Amino acid sequence: MMQADATDMFGGDWEQIELGPGAGAGRPGQVIRLHPTTRQRHMDWLTWGLMPASTAGDHRAPQPIHARAETVTELPMFAEAFRKRRAIVPATAYFQHSTRGILAQRYAICRKDGHPLAIAGLWEAFVAPGGEIVRTYSIITAEATGAVAEIHDRMPLVLEEADWPLWLGEVPGDAARLLHPTLNDRLATRLMPRERSARN
């Protein structure tokens, strides 16, 4: 994922969200969530790979980076976080290797209007055996639609701005109704140049 400016997008007092080359499974990423105490939007560094509070064990436990929209409300791994700890992962774009058409080509996917993506996510706080609190997150994926469906069968669930308050829990309502892609014609794909081998 790539850097996103969140000053206006998320109403915070920070200037930039850094989701650049260091973002990846098991690494820190910046996430927007409601602070557990203040219940205000807050930006935090969380580790990508969800570990529920009920996890029995340590880093060897499963740490999924994705949750499927179709089952996120039901699977024990995700259900409580969906009810109580939803988040937004901001990015200007994400990268995807094609599994349809010409295989294994790398694409960048972003909004056509140039606005940052607001990817639906979940977060958890796990107390490690030594007492350290480890905060982690996962993003939610859904069936691909629009241009993305031409290259892959899945895509991150991207939220519209009007839905952010409901997703984050700032207003009452059924967040499960947002578990369906709505940006059918608002995302664009761009083929990335192939990386040259160091031997060339």
Residue with tokens 């930006």: 43
Spatial neighbors of 21 by CB under 8 A, at least 6 apart, are none
Give the tens place of pLDDT for each residue, 95-113: 889 999 888 899 999 999 9
For 82-119, the DSSP string reads HHH-EEEEEES-EEEE-SSSSTT-EEEEEETT-PPEEE
Give the tens place of pLDDT for each residue, 140-190: 999 999 999 999 999 999 999 999 999 999 999 999 999 998 877 889 999
Give the tens place of pLDDT for each residue, 115-136: 999 999 999 998 887 888 889 9
Residue 148 or residue 20, greater confidence: 148
Residues listed for the chain: 200
pLDDT for res 183: 72
> Nearest CA to 188 among 109, 134, 116, 120?
109
Average pLDDT across the chain, whole number = 84
Query: Which domains, from first to last, does the chain contain?
Result: 28-191 (3.90.1680.10)
> Nearest CA to 8 among 35, 29, 32?
32
| pTM, entire model | 0.85
pLDDT for res 60: 66
Pairing of strands 41-48, 28-34: antiparallel
CA of residue 146 relative to chain centroid, distance: 19
108 close to 95: Cβ distance less than 8 angstroms: yes
Residue 195 or residue 98, greater confidence: 98
Give the tens place of pLDDT for each residue, 35-90: 989 999 999 999 999 988 777 665 567 789 999 999 999 999 999 999 999 999 99
pLDDT for res 198: 47
